[in-house]
Amino acid sequence: MSNVAGFCADEFAAVRTAFTEQVESGAELGAALCVTVDGDPVVDLWGGHADPERTTRWGADTLVNTFSITKTMTALCALLLVDRGELDVYAKVAHYWPEFAANGKADIEVRHLLSHTSGVSGWATEFPFSDIYDNESSAALLAEQEPFWEPGTASGYHANNYGHLIGELVRRIDGRSLGRFFAEELAEPLGADFHIGRAAQYSERIATLVPPDFGTFDQDLLPKDSVLYKTLFQPLLDFELCATPGWLDAEIGGTNGQGNARSVARVQSVISNGGELSGRKFLSAKTIDLIFDQQADGVDLAVLMPLRFGIGYGLSQPHTAPEVPQDGRVCWWGGLGGSMVVNDLDNRVTVAYTMNRMAPGLIGSDRANAYLKPVFAAVRG
């Protein structure tokens, strides 16, 4: 009996072969892969197991924590408000959130938050990781602090607080929380099984994560005043919390979205399909063009790797994402452990990959690359 299920169009047969090899070899514990063209699935595969004991098969409706893929959903929420004229990416954050102007942040613009260039990439003080579940109080802390570097001059990946920053703008403008806004404006209209918060009710369908082995590392060796330390270690992600009801129900728009490849591809196809999906116009071409307004290109101050950001998404970068197409209108992002989404607007293609055995490294993985390569060979020749 094969450990892989689903369907694959004939022209993407090499994609199914690559996915099957990774699942059957055990490189994947459990995973899902979806490719859409013109908004419709042409590859929808899943396989392996949802638990490390291999007692539960990964099913068609298995969900998993997608970590920073959630940021693309959060960015899309912001772009919806932009398209409606309720949010201006070139306006000051303080126009919508007056308290944010404190301590040298009065001139930070919305685009700086969306492109990880605001200087507010984390919290200035240490506290328990579970404190970030309270969006309003943890956002208030961000509003009070000074930026870690001169805003707009470089990127510093907003690893844990991206959703707190953008979510607070959504709440101030719309009145709904980020998770509710996403559910009502994107997930439900699109029939997408992706959730930012309120996910404990789906716990029986959520795959168990197997954290990566980062080896032995003494965080005390890091300078406490470095952007890296303040971003990634204040607070440090606690994998043991990622299966708890508190984590699943919190609306952490940067890190805790629960979904699968099909749901990720469904929502993100709004971008690759030119803003329109299932007969509904979500975004105009003008709003989508903002994604490709480059805001930063260089070594990121928080994760110390080359990154290139537009507004809301990563842009092609040959060193960090070698299998993401380097030409044309392509935007992408990856989640901790290797999950990935890529939107190729020129070919109206979205690729999404989710899994529960996490690879080491902050962005991308060898397994993700193994799938992206045959997908774009088929699409681009």
Global pTM reads 0.97
Token pair of 164 as six digits = 């707190």
Is 357 a member of any domain?
no
d(CA 11, CA 35): 12
In a domain, 347, yes or no: no
At 91, is the secondary structure helix, strand, or coil? coil
Do residue 39 and residue 145 come from a single domain? no
SS3 assignment, position 129: helix
Concatenated DSSP letters of 272-295: HTTTEETTEE---HHHHHHTTS--
What pLDDT is stored for residue 196 in this prediction? 98
Q: What does residue 334 show for φ and ψ, rounded to 5 degrees?
A: -125, 155
Query: What does the pLDDT read at residue 1?
Result: 57
Residue 46 β-bridge partners: 5, 32
151 and 289 assigned to the same domain:
yes
Assess whether 273 and 369 both reside in one domain: no
Question: What tens digit of pLDDT does each residue of 219-228 get?
Answer: 778 889 999 9
Same domain, yes or no: 54 and 195: no
User: For position 164, what pLDDT does the model report?
Assistant: 98
Q: 231 and 119 in one domain? A: yes
| 333 falls within a domain | no
Clarify whether residues 371 and 295 are in a common domain. Answer: no
Q: Is residue 56 part of a domain?
A: yes
Which residue of the set 25, 68, 115, 155 is catalytic?
68
Q: How many domains does the chain have?
A: 2
Taking only the tens of pLDDT, the chain with its 381 residues reads: 579 999 999 999 999 999 999 999 999 999 999 999 999 999 999 999 999 999 999 999 999 999 999 999 999 999 999 999 999 999 999 999 999 999 999 999 999 999 999 999 999 998 999 999 999 999 999 999 999 999 999 999 999 999 999 999 999 999 999 999 999 999 999 999 999 999 999 999 999 999 988 776 677 788 899 999 999 999 999 999 999 999 999 999 999 999 999 999 999 999 999 999 999 999 999 999 999 999 999 999 999 999 999 999 999 999 999 999 999 999 999 999 999 999 999 999 999 999 999 999 889 999 999 999 999 999 998
Is 68 in the active site? yes
Check whether residue 131 and residue 211 sit in a common domain: yes
The token pair that represents 228 in the structure block: 């890296």
Taking the C-alpha atoms of residue 341 and residue 88, their distance in angstroms, rounded to an integer, is 25
Q: What is the DSSP letter of 92?
A: B
In order of 32, 269, 376, the CA distances from 35 in angstroms are: 10, 10, 10
Asked, for residue 119, whether it belongs to a domain, the answer is yes
Do 193 and 52 belong to one domain? no
| Residues 277-322: tens digit of each pLDDT | 999 999 999 999 999 999 999 999 999 999 999 999 999 999 999 9
Cβ-count burial 110-136 (b if 16+ within 10 Å, e if not): bbbbbbbbbbbbbbeeeeeeeebbebe
CA separation for the pair 72, 186 (Å, rounded): 12
- Domain boundaries, position 17: 1-60+364-381
Q: DSSP character for 237?
A: P
The C-alpha atoms of residue 142 and residue 99 are separated, in whole angstroms, by: 10
